Amino acid sequence: MKVDVLLGLQWGDEGKGKIVDVLAPKYDVVARFQGGPNAGHTLEFDGIKHVLHQIPSGIFRPSAKNVIGNGVVLDPIIFKIEIEKLQKYNLKVKDNLFISKKATLIIPTHRLLDQAYEKAKGDNKIGSTLKGIGPSYVDKVSRQGLRVGDILAADFKTRFQKLVNQHFEILKNHDIPYNWAELETQFLDAVSFLKEFKLIDSEYFLNQELKNGSSVLAEGAQGSLLDIDFGSYPFVTSSNTVTAGACTGLGLAPKHIGEVYGIFKAYSTRVGSGPFPTELLDAEGEKMRKEGNEFGSTTGRPRRCGWIDLPALKYSIMINGVSQLLMMKADVLSIFETIKVCTHYQLEDGSVTEIMPYEIVHEKITPIYTELKGWNVPIQGISESNIPVELSHYVDFLEKALQVPITFISTGPDRTQTIHRKTK
């Protein structure tokens, strides 16, 4: 069988958690391949809303094995809190969750360093979630990081202390308050908790699953426009959020990749700093935020809102090799009589392009819009046969421009509010 990859094509929060949960019954394994607790993936069913940060979104489906891959950065403290929150649902988490020994550990000083570096950036701050993502990936790449498998070593505490001391040296130059005794106790306690789980060589595990005929769904975190290489650098996260990241983050060869599900909102949002060509800084943007309940799942920050951006989506589709598109939150656009679609960018020199400019951070981009008539009726939970004609036109317009079929339309946060377009 193949590994299908599901990932966000915008700046994150496209609705990945909801769709992974919807698709999970079709898969034997769901695996996270990058990112860490900066992610906030929301699932809703039976009137309950769940937000997962590090645990794959297949965890509520008893038939799915869930894997945290080697490409992930894992914070044991947040992991423990997440698992404890799930306890009341009687899930067999200890049986169904597998964690790569090669995943990188986030230790408490990584979070402090994140704060220190953001503070030092002043007005140029990234708007990080401050979960220690950047500093832990830095330690991984500079070959001094600690990995999940290291917690089983007899000298783990010594190795931990060595890394902490290095971080203390840096923190001396920054004014970040902390209570180390408390953080250390909390961390070591969480490490003991983590030891009770299945810590595995996930690359062997996943390749064996494929050999046995299992189907695997790789769950992306963040979005392609936050990718460390292809996003709006430096306003990005610190991992490869694109399809290729699923290969390196799980130890699966490219030949195993099957479908690439590209997920996008019917409009655009971004949380944190960085360029956002179609951002609406007016009452319309405020209306979108309110209707879409656009507040961060991890930090609660208001998300910046704007119209859909086709040059950006085309770029993401190209980099990822997207084979199917999934459009989320179509219901949110019901409030608008007219819907705008950005088809091109006008640059400062007057030229018009649909290429993402290298200088996206400094260039003033003016979006060029096409206007479409809105459907302007409630659509939450409708079936395919009840899709209003204007929504059909919107979908047709996007499919024609993007050259990839839209196979799912999501019309509400609940699992059941999902249209799988049978004709596609």
Q: Which residues bind ligand IMO (CB under 6 A)?
A: 8, 11-13, 38-41, 126-129, 131, 133-134, 221-223, 226, 237, 271-272, 297
Q: Which is nearer to ligand IMO, 68 or 387 (CB)?
A: 68
Cβ contacts of 262 within 8 Å, gap of 6 or more: 7, 9, 316, 317, 320, 322, 324, 325, 326, 404
Say if residue 287 is exposed, middle or buried (CB neighbours under 10 Å; 0-12, 13-18, 19+).
middle
Residue 222 contact partner, candidates Mg ion, ligand GDP, ligand IMO, none, CB within 5 to 8 A by sort of partner: ligand IMO
Rounded Cα gap, residues 294 and 411, in angstroms = 15
Say if residue 31 is exposed, middle or buried (CB neighbours under 10 Å; 0-12, 13-18, 19+).
buried
Q: Is 362 labeled as catalytic in the residue annotation?
A: no
Shortest distance in whole angstroms from residue 107 CB to ligand GDP: 25
- 3-class DSSP state of 360: coil
Structure-block tokens of residue 191: 């490490």
Q: Which is nearer to ligand GDP, 4 or 13 (CB)?
A: 13
- 3-class DSSP state of 23: helix
Q: Which is nearer to ligand IMO, 20 or 409 (CB)?
A: 20
- Write the interaction track for ligand GDP spanning residues 2-21; mark x where CB under 6 A is met and - where it is not: ------x---xxxxxxx---
Residue 70 contact partner, candidates ligand IMO, ligand GDP, Mg ion, none, CB within 5 to 8 A by sort of partner: none
- Write the interaction track for ligand GDP spanning residues 330-359; mark x where CB under 6 A is met and - where it is not: -xx---------------------------
Say whether residue 297 binds Mg ion (CB under 5 A). Answer: yes
Nearest to 67 by CA among 206, 261, 260, 194: 206
Which candidate in 4, 13, 21, 28 is catalytic?
13
> Considering Cα of 322, then 324, then 326, then 327, what sign does the dihedral take?
positive
Site for ligand GDP in 389-418 (CB under 6 A): 410-413
**Percent helix, strand and coil across the chain, each to the nearest 5:** 35, 25, 40
Site for Mg ion in 30-89 (CB under 5 A): 40
Active site residues: 13, 41
Q: Which residues of the chain form contacts with Mg ion (CB under 5 A)?
A: 13, 40, 297
